[in-house]
Chain A
Amino acid sequence: MTGYILKRLLSAIPVLLGITVIVFLIMAMIPGDPATAILGSYATPDNVEKLNRDLGLDKPLVAQYFIWLGNMLTGDFGTSFALNRPVLDEVLERFNATLILAGTAFLICSVLGIIAGVVSASRQYGFADKSITFAVLLGISIPSFFLGMMMILFFSVNLRWFPVSGMWPVYGDRNLWVLLNHLTLPALALAVVATGVIARLSRSAMLEVLRQDFIRTARAKGVHERGVIWRHALKAAMVSIIPVLGIQAGFVLSGAVYIEMVFQWPGVGRMLVDAILKRDILLVQGGVVFVAACYVLFNIAVDVAQSLLDPRIKT
């Protein structure tokens, strides 16, 4: 198993390099002088020249890439001009908040989605199945940012159950209870679409598995129907559900950008949008590379989980 994990980690290296190349190439599309773009149009010529030298922007493109890459490998992602602090510090702090939000949402959508899919499949064409199917359709059609706004309106403004926005209260203690109180609405709003997709896929994966011979075997030996569905069928269906969980994690991470805007959550998504609007290029660059790299590593974890579940995968 350790060997397999190592192998997967090694195979991630070209992907990670590819990600840096892509980000670098996209940033190279910036029209005009990058230093001016980074410093803004009010920059003095001296500063522009200094930055060009610091970033190695006076060198050829390939050399620039390797300088940038080398700096990142030593933990130097550059300095955000708008915030005047190291990019990595800012990204790490913001990513922490995003991780709390997206992680909770991922947990919610995985658990709810799978349960809904299994229930739906085991009551195929019944009332529960039809209700779930309809709820899923609604869930995957509603834009998460609109849903978030409506949730604020209903649960925060009308019912006053939850705070309207933010991660922490401006004054007062910062404990888990306060965090959960702030987290509930955004995490739910973020989880809805992915829950729908996972429920849908779990349902069809379950239907596929329930028709297979080993299910009949389980029934023939007298396993209770609960065991047939939740042990035998679900375990086999997980083989096709887990990769989708990996993909949905990417969507949850993406959707977090909208939810962070709606709920004023101090995460990396809101940081990126602000950075784009302020043309804080280095912050965008660093943030994108960092989050994408984390996502790649997460997907390796998904593969490892898959190989733990399915002994037929050669490790």
Chain B
Amino acid sequence: MTAFFRLLARNRLALAGLIVMTVVVILALLTPLLPLADPDVTDTGNRFQPPFSEGALLGTDHLGRDLLSRLMWGTRLSLAVGFAAAIAAATIGAAIGIIAGFYGGRTDNIIMRGVDMLMAFPYILLALAIVAALGPGLLNALIAVAAVNVPFFARNIRGITVGIAHKEFVDAARLAGLSNARIILTEILPNVVPVIVIAMSTTIGWMILETAGLSFLGLGSQPPQADLGSMLGEARSALITNPHTSIVPGVMILIIVMSINLLGDGIRDALDPRLKSGALSRPMAATNVDRKETPPAATGRGLLEVQALETQFHVKNRVYKAVGGVDLHVEPGECLGIIGESGSGKSVTALSVMGLVASPPGVITGGAVRYEGEDLVGAPYRKLRSMRGKNVAYIFQDPLATLHPLYKVGDQLIEAIRSHRPIGKDEGRKTAIELLKSVRIPNPEKRISDYPHELSGGMRQRVGIAMALANEPDIIIADEPTTALDVTVQAQILSLLDDLRRSRGLAIVFITHDFGVVAQLCDRVAVMYAGRIIEEGTTAEVLENPMHPYTARLMACVPELGEGKRRLEAIRGLPPVVDKLPPGCAFADRCERVQDVCRQGEIPLEGEEGRAVRCLFPVTEPPPADAKPAQSQEAAE
């Protein structure tokens, strides 16, 4: 709650709104005590005095009445009526909503049908009908405005009540034999009151505006009594000759409603947890780059080379080092596997290549990504865009989320091509069919006019692959493309990728957490942990003879068929949080071979001929399959 107020206070506009509103309310409360002229005494000799004239600070109206005094009394009346309408609407609406939500079933059905009917009206028609029936007058206008807003509260509160009515504590109260009325009063009501209050605070401005509106139309307060709306309504006939009589009450309404809106926005923002975390930021077209040091020189290794890449997430004043200095390269036609647990930085590494890390909060803070020797980090957006999909294409994990739900798959394919070269309608269609055929989608002539949700998961991922192939790229970065699929489909997709790679000479960077997949597809593999590569080598070497304790333990997690009874070993502990990485080895806390030196300072990735490990005490023998992780495991428990 204090955090809420602090957040509210930090929102300067909301605070300004609160202050202005408080001042207005206090002035309205004090009005009877202030030395003001009588608001209803007419003095036609002194009509339409301009502002700042003798004895009338804001001038006088068409009957010579003091505008300042009328403004104060009018404000008081408008506020009172607005508040009263809000409270009435909230009380009645909440009562209806609670009853509907609590009893459910037929009661709920009938009530909510009625509420829906009321909401089918443009609100003012309903208000006008009510005023027509009751006759013009301030009280009737208040009733009309309150009645029109009842459905809004009823619907909101019903929603909340339905959620609460099935909670355990309500069931407990029922079992304890409390009457429904008791349960509603003691269990339900206290939980919905905050919602009611918030809904009310955001609608009060609206209610004031609506009652002022009815008064403006001459249907609310009747002369000589005046609220702000009827002041404005009366002044309308003298708008052109004496605008100040209109401007004074109009500006007051504007001030009141605006300060309430500011405050309401502040409350809403303070209550929305997503705003606190900054999760509502929009990702830019390309990842921000903020390199402190000049990037390393090109070495000429590989078609794509990643050098000392550092990508961080800056959230508030925290820095998450998602990628902390990664070096990779891929040769043409080669398949490189990147393996690691979730959060190890493998996806961020992959997305950094084409500047696709969501930014904010992502920032590339160091290193280089070289395509044919040319550094792409910090390259102008135009350059990056022209290469995306054309030179380096991506396949993402969940094809339902990664395909646009509202475009036909054929159109999405054609768009991929059209982004890089102009293509006619017929040719586009033909190419799209060709592409779908090449990823073995049956009946492609029909499938191109399907929407993504009409395809199965495996078919969708084939579309994703077809889209990546559309511009015949040299490199495909596949970010866990089979994780969301079931096993048989996974095998099909993998063999498809392998065929495409061999037939087209594609280089593939394959990101996964699955050693089985790596074994099937990859020539070389890099193991990532806490944002860094901790071991790399050819797939055969790494799988048969893992050197880093982490790799070894990770492989021991994979169950194997025909290996008899073997204890599956989970790795104890969790990966470190990348905003406070320990000095030295990031795996030290979870490692059985850890010694004091492991925690002291940087450990380099060392080795030769592409076989390297970042460990001071690498495993030299593969661990016996049935070895017990003895004391350590128990110590952890």
Give which listed residue, A19, A30, A225, contacts B117 with CB less than 8 A. A19
Q: Are B129 and A27 in contact (CB under 8 A)?
A: yes
Q: Are B217 and A254 in contact (CB under 8 A)?
A: no
Closest residue to A229 on the B side, CB-wise? B285
Q: Are B117 and A22 in contact (CB under 8 A)?
A: yes
Residues of B within 8 A of A141 (CB): 205, 254, 257-258, 261
Q: Are A219 and B356 in contact (CB under 8 A)?
A: yes
Tell me the smallest distance from the CB of B196 to a CB of chain A, in Å. 22
CA distance A210 to B453 in the complex (A): 20
| A141-B258, A146-B232, A309-B406 given; A27·B216 CB < 8 A | no
| A275-B132, A311-B451 given; A250·B122 CB < 8 A | yes
User: Size range of the interface on A?
Assistant: 35 or more
* 8 A Cβ contacts from A109-148 to B: 121-122, 124, 137-138, 140-143, 145-146
Over the window 219-237 of chain B, the binary record of Cβ atoms lying under 8 Å from chain A Cβ atoms (1 yes, 0 no) is 1000000000000100010
Q: Are B386 and A222 in contact (CB under 8 A)?
A: yes
User: Size range of the interface on B?
Assistant: 35 or more
Q: Which of B275-283, B324-332, B516-524, B614-622 contacts A (4 or more CB under 8 A)?
A: B275-283
Q: Are B121 and A19 in contact (CB under 8 A)?
A: yes
* 8 A Cβ contacts from B119-134 to A: 120-126, 128-134
Q: Are A288 and B407 in contact (CB under 8 A)?
A: no
Q: Are A143 and B212 in contact (CB under 8 A)?
A: yes
Residues of A within 8 A of B117 (CB): 15, 18-19, 21-22
Q: Are B132 and A281 in contact (CB under 8 A)?
A: yes
Q: Are A236 and B405 in contact (CB under 8 A)?
A: yes
Q: Are A217 and B120 in contact (CB under 8 A)?
A: no
* 8 A Cβ contacts from B419-435 to A: 419-420
* 8 A Cβ contacts from B385-399 to A: 385-390, 393-394, 396, 398
Q: Are A253 and B136 in contact (CB under 8 A)?
A: no
> Is A214 part of the contact surface with B, judged by Cβ < 8 Å?
yes
CA distance A277 to B217 in the complex (A): 10
Q: Are B262 and A137 in contact (CB under 8 A)?
A: yes
CA distance A23 to B133 in the complex (A): 10
Q: Are A122 and B125 in contact (CB under 8 A)?
A: no
Q: Which of B24-32, B154-162, B239-247 contacts A (4 or more CB under 8 A)?
A: B239-247
Closest residue to B405 on the A side, CB-wise? A312
Residues of B within 8 A of A207 (CB): 280-282
Q: Are A251 and B122 in contact (CB under 8 A)?
A: yes
* 8 A Cβ contacts from A166-202 to B: none
Q: Are A214 and B232 in contact (CB under 8 A)?
A: no
Over the window 346-380 of chain B, the binary record of Cβ atoms lying under 8 Å from chain A Cβ atoms (1 yes, 0 no) is 00000100101010000000000000000000000
CA distance A255 to B451 in the complex (A): 40
> Is B381 part of the contact surface with A, judged by Cβ < 8 Å?
yes
> Is B209 part of the contact surface with A, judged by Cβ < 8 Å?
yes
Residues of B within 8 A of A262 (CB): 236
CA distance A269 to B125 in the complex (A): 9
Residues of B within 8 A of A15 (CB): 116-117, 120
A interface residues (Cβ-Cβ under 8 A, vs B): 14-15, 18-19, 21-23, 26-27, 29-30, 121-122, 124, 137-138, 140-143, 145-146, 149-150, 152-153, 157, 164, 204, 206-208, 210-225, 227-228, 232, 235-236, 239, 250-251, 253-255, 257-258, 261-262, 269, 272-273, 275-277, 279, 281, 284-285, 288, 291-292, 295-296, 299, 309-312
B interface residues (Cβ-Cβ under 8 A, vs A): 113-114, 116-118, 120-126, 128-136, 205, 209, 212-213, 216-219, 232, 236, 239-240, 243, 246-247, 250, 253-254, 257-258, 261-262, 265, 279-283, 285, 351, 354, 356, 358, 381, 385-390, 393-394, 396, 398, 401-407, 415-416, 419-420, 451, 453-454, 464, 467-468, 470-471
Known: A137-B261, A137-B262. 18 other contacts (CB 8 A): A18-B113, A26-B126, A157-B240, A211-B282, A217-B404, A220-B389, A221-B419, A223-B415, A228-B285, A236-B404, A236-B405, A269-B124, A273-B128, A275-B132, A277-B136, A277-B218, A285-B129, A310-B406
Q: Can you list 10 residue pairs at the A/B interface with Cβ under 8 Å? A: A14-B113, A15-B117, A22-B117, A26-B129, A211-B281, A216-B283, A222-B387, A262-B236, A292-B125, A312-B451
